[in-house]
Structure 1
Amino acid sequence: MVLRALRSAGELGESPSVAELAAVTGLSRPTVEQVVESLLGAGYAAVAGGAARAPRVGRPARRFRFRAEAGHLLGVEIGALRVTVLVADLAGRRVGSAVRTVAADAPAEERLALVAGAARTALMASGVPPDGVRAVGVGSPGIMAADGSVRLCAALPGWTGLPLGERLGSALGAPVLVENDANAAAVGERWRGAAAGCDDVVMVLAGLSPGAGSLIGGRVHRGFGGAAGEIGALHLLGRGAAPERLLSPDGDRPLAALDEAAVGRVLERARGGEARAGAAVQRYVERLTHDVTALVLALDPELVVVGGWASGLEGVAGPLARELSRYCLRTPRVAVSELGAEAIATGALRLALDRVEAEMFAVRAPAGG
């Protein structure tokens, strides 16, 4: 409670005294003094310079600040074509980043080495020593097990069965939390994006192989086996065309399954009024509506956020909302991701911060306070 108050004050640029912390928390002054001493010893708090705000007789009260620099976090996205690493302090403020491209067919060992290298680069550029990392969050395609291993992943070669958390934990020297990429994106959008303030959210990673993550009551919904939201194969139920064919203006020549630039060009041409591209986007929106409707009918979210790696997705949100209104008993709001290409890494960063906050806030007030 005291640490939360101290950190909140820091976000406002304030350094409270013991008396002010006691007033905010409702704890007694002796109790707050004991907790503050514990926080000073643990390195989460420091004495701030400056006297009390109002003139007073005697020695000015000591003021304290939250030490956001006491540790750092990494948020990592591992994708088919790139790796993104974000660095933040204990207040969640970003202090650095690194992005690396990778071949779609890169073996698992090469991809893991790229992640470790990008993390080292980001830390060095941020002035953060490797042993200053308190936790790492990772967003990756696939179905994840509770122990951080990959149960199933068709998108990345050699990923199925990989002990991802264990391997990255050894490489980075910190606890690693592994999450499905769409789930991580949902967390990121709720923290700092389009879903801020929403507890019931469906996050759609639109693309040639769409996936979805969902929040119910503000918490990630993974399902019994971690496979909730895997909507990419729903078209097989109706034996419909695959997305790479639907989005192809040429019809008979499907797009390459991971060709981001090609998808972006189709969306741009559709916005420019080209009829064939517009028809391709409409076919894709109808397919995406089929996928998203299944989740909306089952979960009744307040908001559907459309994101993913293709540029130009703002042209998809409106048509998707109109199509959903035709099939859903209650049509949710539809918004485009505000975090864009960093949604997954941002959500992974939030997961790492959650882990560290649980440790920090375990410093409790003594009994009787």
Structure 2
Amino acid sequence: MGRLTGGDPSLLRRINSSVVLHALRGAGTSFSSDTTDCPTLTDLTRVTGLSRPTVEGVVEGLIEAGLVVVESAAEEGGAKRQGRPARRFRFRAEAGHLLGVEISPHRIAALLSGLDGRIVGAGSREVDESLGADDRLERVRQVVADVLRRTGVPRSSLRAVGVGTPGIVEAGGTVRLGTALPGWTGLPLGERLRRSFRCPVLVENDANAAAVAEHWKGVGQDTDDLVFVLAGLSPGAGSLIGGRLHRGYGGAAGEIGALHLLGREATPEKLLSTTGEPLHPLDEQAVAVVFAEARRGDAQAQAAVERFLQRLVHDVAALVLALDPELVVIGGWAAGIDGVLEPLRSELERYCLRPPRVALSLLGEASVATGALRLALDHVEEQMFAVETTVTARR
């Protein structure tokens, strides 16, 4: 069993630096000045509980590192004093940038932020679902290049890139299984993209990324136990348990789209058929026609939609029974189906011992890219706020 030792002066400096940097980065909510959110040394000393010489030394080091800048001078306590007014300091969110990228069958989307996670640029492009891996990755590069050009951010400013993609993703960024995109199974996606960006690239399953996004900026901000269902032809789900993403042993947690294998005959092609023959081709355009016919009152189309909704309910219920989340968030294109929430709520009450809350995604089609951006931000925060510890064996 190990114990932490705090006698190393460099460790103490790291801890103090992390404390001060946290305070500066959160200055918009931590300080209550009437004139500015940029704190003075006195403000930082009060909030962190550190001595003034310690805070001053840490701030000077952060300035040298480019993470903090002297924003303006101000009078301490609002009173006029002789000599120089107190300096105010600002965390430089522009000292680096982060990217969140969504790669889906029909579009590529990218979000660009500073080190504070605030969006400074965005872009997207529709793509053909038949594109091969090389062509699809080239579209990713084009979308990112366009966002960087329009925002004036150099590629060298990127500190990390998060990517959300369909499929089962291994920890190193390789897509172990990806049937939604041609040539995606076995693709070393993280490695391929790192060649273009020359910074850390974090690849995650799209539903997992969307779950992170809803917890960060969406309907799930008030709970640490949620399931996000990316409802489509083959639904997938991402889960947060205790605020932490649950990926499973091999990254395959939440692949509820495979549950139809238990029913053998109940494939999506047959569920959504209005003719008795499997729906072909099975794509979102063909499915949209079925839903449009159902809205016009076509009995066969209405029956097909009902079968689809029942399958979705059963898939979600299986996950809810296993995880007991507080909240289920429905996203993806099927979230736009009229009346999708009520069947889910009523059936979950029927099947589940403790029915969760059910809500539509607040982020819509931006959920995957937003979650990918949060993953990139998490990575950079781990570096900025890392505290190196010395572990010694207990004798």
- TM-score range, shorter-chain basis? over 0.9
- Normalising by structure 1, report the TM-score: 0.92
Name 1:39's counterpart in structure 2: 62
Name 1:299's counterpart in structure 2: 323
CA contact (8 A) 2:101 2:108 kept: yes
- Give how far 1:103 is off: 1.6
Runs of 4 or more consecutive aligned structure 1 residues displaced over 6 Å after TM superposition: none
- CA distance in structure 1 between the aligned counterparts of 2:335 and 2:292, rounded to whole angstroms: 8
Name 1:351's counterpart in structure 2: 375
Name the amino acid aligned to 1:184. A
- Give how far 1:270 is off: 5.0
- CA distance in structure 1 between the aligned counterparts of 2:270 and 2:201, rounded to whole angstroms: 38
- Give how far 1:82 is off: 1.0
CA contact (8 A) 1:72 1:87 kept: yes
Match of 1:219 among 224, 244, 259: 244
The answer to whether the aligner puts 1:119 opposite 2:144 as a matched pair is yes
- Aligned pairs for 1:1-150 within 5 A: 1-10=19-28, 14-52=37-75, 54-58=78-82, 59-150=84-175
- CA distance in structure 1 between the aligned counterparts of 2:63 and 2:294, rounded to whole angstroms: 58
For structure 1, which segment, 248-257 or 72-81, has the greater mean C-alpha deviation from structure 2 after superposition?
248-257
Q: 1:126/1:249 Cα in 2 relative to 1: closer, same or farther (>3 Å)?
A: farther
CA contact (8 A) 1:267 1:315 kept: no
- CA distance in structure 1 between the aligned counterparts of 2:331 and 2:112, rounded to whole angstroms: 22
Name the amino acid aligned to 1:345. A
Larger radius of gyration: 2
The answer to whether the aligner puts 1:257 opposite 2:293 as a matched pair is no
- Give how far 1:346 is off: 0.3
- CA distance in structure 1 between the aligned counterparts of 2:118 and 2:300, rounded to whole angstroms: 44
CA contact (8 A) 2:335 2:360 kept: no
CA contact (8 A) 2:231 2:335 kept: no
- Aligned pairs for 1:210-289 within 5 A: 210-250=235-275, 252=277, 254=279, 256-259=281-284, 261-264=285-288, 266-267=290-291, 270=294, 275-289=299-313
- CA distance in structure 1 between the aligned counterparts of 2:386 and 2:198, rounded to whole angstroms: 22
Name the amino acid aligned to 2:64. G
Name 1:167's counterpart in structure 2: 192
- CA distance in structure 1 between the aligned counterparts of 2:233 and 2:154, rounded to whole angstroms: 39
**What root-mean-square deviation, in Å, do the aligned CA atoms of Structure 1 and Structure 2 show?**
2.0
Name 2:33's counterpart in structure 1: none
Name 2:360's counterpart in structure 1: 336
- Give how far 1:24 is off: 1.2
The answer to whether the aligner puts 1:204 opposite 2:229 as a matched pair is yes
Aligned residues: 363
- Give how far 1:29 is off: 1.5
- CA distance in structure 1 between the aligned counterparts of 2:337 and 2:223, rounded to whole angstroms: 21
- CA distance in structure 1 between the aligned counterparts of 2:49 and 2:292, rounded to whole angstroms: 56
- Give how far 1:225 is off: 0.9
- Give how far 1:77 is off: 0.6
Q: Secondary structure at the match of 1:43?
A: coil
CA contact (8 A) 1:107 1:158 kept: yes
Q: Secondary structure at the match of 1:197?
A: coil
Name the amino acid aligned to 1:8. G
- CA distance in structure 2 between the aligned counterparts of 1:295 and 1:49, rounded to whole angstroms: 53
Q: Secondary structure at the match of 1:170?
A: helix
The answer to whether the aligner puts 1:326 opposite 2:344 as a matched pair is no
- Give how far 1:267 is off: 4.6
- Please give the per-residue CA displacement for 1:267-287, whole angstroms capped at 9, x wherever unaligned: 566567665544333221210
Match of 1:315 among 328, 332, 339: 339
- Give how far 1:91 is off: 1.0
- CA distance in structure 2 between the aligned counterparts of 1:175 and 1:356, rounded to whole angstroms: 9
- CA distance in structure 2 between the aligned counterparts of 1:177 and 1:291, rounded to whole angstroms: 28
Q: Secondary structure at the match of 1:49?
A: strand
- CA distance in structure 2 between the aligned counterparts of 1:178 and 1:340, rounded to whole angstroms: 20
- Give how far 1:254 is off: 2.0
Q: Secondary structure at the match of 2:38?
A: coil
- Normalising by structure 2, report the TM-score: 0.87
Q: 1:22/1:152 Cα in 2 relative to 1: closer, same or farther (>3 Å)?
A: same
Q: 1:198/1:313 Cα in 2 relative to 1: closer, same or farther (>3 Å)?
A: farther
Q: Structure 1 vs Structure 2: percent identity of aligned residues?
A: 61
CA contact (8 A) 1:300 1:332 kept: yes
Q: 1:198/1:263 Cα in 2 relative to 1: closer, same or farther (>3 Å)?
A: farther
CA contact (8 A) 2:67 2:92 kept: yes
| Structure 2 gaps, min length 5 | 1-18, 31-35, 389-395
